[in-house]
Amino acid sequence: MNIYILCIIGVFIISAICGFLFIPLILNFCKSRKLYDIPDARKIHHNAIPRLGGISFMPSMLLSFAAALYVINTTDKQVTINLWSIYFLLSMLMIYVMGIVDDILGLSPLIKFIVQIIAACTLPLSGLYINNMYGFFGIHEIPYYIGFPLTVLTIVFIDNAINLIDGIDGLAASLSIIALSGFLYMFIVQNVWSYSILIAGLIGVLVAFMYFNLFGSAENNRKIFMGDSGSLTLGYLLGFLCIKYSMNNTAVMSHHKFDFIIAFTLLLVPMFDVVRVFMMRIYHKRSPFSADKTHIHHKFMSAGCTQHKALVAILLLAVFYVAANHFMLMAMSNTVVFIIDVLIYIGVNLALNYIIMRKHSHVGDIKVVSERVKS
């Protein structure tokens, strides 16, 4: 078997083991320091739960990655670490540290936004930026002075989209696993092994995290949230992978017209959700950054789903987009496929609105009948 494929499998296993070792230590640390995510009217959970699970992501991923590099370097193969990779790792470390500080001490949204912009700027400064949209709305090649701010905006947007959709158990992690699995496959096909190995490492620790997040007992101090250190790190890495895969650079990867839309298809659900939520907040004359319970997972739960059922429904929607776009792109342009994606998302939300309205009106009718019986 290909040495790189063996390393990908090994990295996944090592990272998962690291996650299962690190997370209990983090849980004990949070308990000793009383570092909990306290429930309030906006949150779903009802128990005080540790929120530093994301701290395990970077060490597990990088330790397993380093082990793979060592194994590969003992053979006649090699993994290339270029300038983009160095800038990416340094900027992701910046986001990771910011997330930890925010989870422990708290940071203002403005400070976090500034740090995200600074971190995102390092990528186009290293030469990695959106330089082609492959005919999306008639746009093809993009000059650097437009691609630079567009890249920064895209990365910050995706970073916050993952952070904001982290509202119920397993959602941000499982959506990220779907996206990461897609990128893993696409980078393997392109023989880009360094990022394939790194992605496999992140998937491994996410599997370990999801075990504690979904099935851990809060009463036994075995349940944990990823916190901003996790969601912001995930979002930044996914934003980077979107730019990396969709950039037209034939010296690194062969490209075709589907690359741009396929890369972003993997993250359509969190991106569409944050756009819809922001638009509705502005429509109702509120700050787009104000907290509420209007995200798609809140809507599924208002429609009658449990947390786990809402999770499954959203994951099915994400998988549907990936499969549908794969087939639609064989016969349609990027633009048409995107418009259909938007219409599907609007349709899903309108259906949820209808179900919620019927449910609440039914509850209202029951209350009216009950009051009449009492009187």
pLDDT at 370: 46
Kindly tell me the burial class for residue 143, based on how many C-beta atoms sit within 10 Å of its own C-beta (0-12, 13-18, 19 or more).
exposed
pLDDT of 220 > 50? The answer is yes
pLDDT at 26: 95
Q: With bands split at pLDDT 50, 70 and 90, how would you rate the model's confidence at 48?
A: confident
Which H/E stretch holds residue 89? helix 83-104
Give the pTM. Answer: 0.91
| Residue 163 known to bind ligand | yes
Residues 84-143 pLDDT 10s: 788 899 999 999 999 999 999 989 989 999 999 999 999 999 989 999 888 888 888 999
Residues 184-212 pLDDT 10s: 999 998 888 889 999 999 999 999 999 99
Average pLDDT (67-81) is 79
Measure the CA–CA gap between 166 and 228, rounded to whole angstroms.
Answer: 9
Residues 233-262 pLDDT 10s: 999 999 999 999 988 776 556 666 677 788
Closest Cα partner for 321 from 260, 280, 272?
272
Measure the CA–CA gap between 255 and 367, rounded to whole angstroms.
Answer: 60
Residues 357-371 pLDDT 10s: 988 776 555 444 444
Residues 305-358 pLDDT 10s: 999 999 999 999 999 999 999 999 888 999 999 999 999 999 999 999 999 998
| Residue 228 known to bind ligand | yes
pLDDT of 19 > 80? The answer is yes
Query: Which residue has better confidence, 79 or 222?
Result: 222
Q: How is the chain split into domains, by residue range? A: 3-269
Q: With bands split at pLDDT 50, 70 and 90, how would you rate the model's confidence at 9?
A: very high
Q: With the CA atoms of 337, 340, 345 and 351 taken in that order, what torsion angle do they form, in degrees rounded to the nearest 10?
A: -150
Query: Which residue has better confidence, 372 or 65?
Result: 65
Closest Cα partner for 181 from 356, 322, 363?
322
Measure the CA–CA gap between 53 and 212, rounded to whole angstroms.
Answer: 9
pLDDT at 1: 58
